[in-house]
A = this chain, B = another copy of it.
Amino acid sequence: MTYETALAVLGDPTRRQVFERLRGGPCPVHAIAAGMTVSRPAVSQHLKVLKDAGLVEERSEGVRRIYSLRREGLAELRDWLDSFWDDALLAFKIEAERTHWQIKRTRDGNE
């Protein structure tokens, strides 16, 4: 989805914990909940939010629902982050063209 959604969804610590739990690989719900302090329904609810945000995908295996990470869901967020550094480069270039001063700066911004 959008980077806004990803940020809002991953902003919650518990939900992030669920998300990171899946870095180890696909996992059924009860196994995710086992390592956490909150109840299993709470985990289910977080998984639904994560799924709606495209950060996680679900597959059925009998009575189990196996959830796994969906890294593409993070792509927009990553691009958004990168664009901030593009901003810095752009501003740097404009500034360099506008003024002929010698510029000694760090890569991150003004000082």
Contact = CB atoms under 8 A, between A and B. Distances in A.
A9 B108 CA distance: 21
B16 A4 contact: yes
The size bracket of the interface on A is 20 to 34
A101 to B, nearest CB: 18
A68 B110 contact: yes
A9 B37 CA distance: 23
A110 to B, nearest CB: 7
A8 interface: yes
Interface of A: 4, 7-8, 10-13, 16, 23, 25, 68-72, 74, 77-78, 81-82, 84-85, 87-88, 91, 107-111
